[in-house]
Structure 1
Amino acid sequence: MEFDGAKMYRQDTGLVLIFIIFIWLVLGFILISISGLASSDLVRDVTIVTGLLAGIFVTSALIAVLAHLKKNKVGIYSEELCQIVNQVTLER
């Protein structure tokens, strides 16, 4: 079993970026759907602003995860390597 920390970091980064894109696609679909159902302009505007704020907070949290992964990638993936080695050793 080969361990490549850089590859795992790229995979994790790609996954977080996919989550960001997915969140905005789903949020956009929901906001468009809700804006057509709103009974008044005030309800529509409040819903859109609230949804956009939620999207911004989720995106900023995921960007913080990316920063954490980049800052601590040696420690994170070294720990993961130790767990993989222990698991392989126990299986034998």
Structure 2
Amino acid sequence: LLGWDQADVILFSGDAYIDHPSFGTAVIGRLLERLGLRVAIIPQPNWRDDLRDFKKLGLPRMFFAVTAAVMDSMINRYTATKRLRSQDAYTP
């Protein structure tokens, strides 16, 4: 955890993390860092198991934050011809 005892903010994202200004999670994380906060980002946490992704960093000093994914879930799930997509463009 970068030598920190505790993060100030833990940010959960619905997408894979891409550190680029066209991705909202990166912008929010960098803005919070610029304010002097220690920010930890957990991309695409697995909510189907024992929730370990939500527990692994412990409690933040200030707050948890949640961001949505880049694409609307319906657009991400279906093609323009209403067929199920076989791949998620934002997941490695």
Please, what TM-score do these two structures have when normalized by structure 2?
0.30
Structure number with larger C-alpha Rg: 1
Higher helix share: 1
Q: Structure with the greater relative contact order (CA < 8 A, sep ≥ 6): 1 or 2?
A: 1
Higher strand share: 2
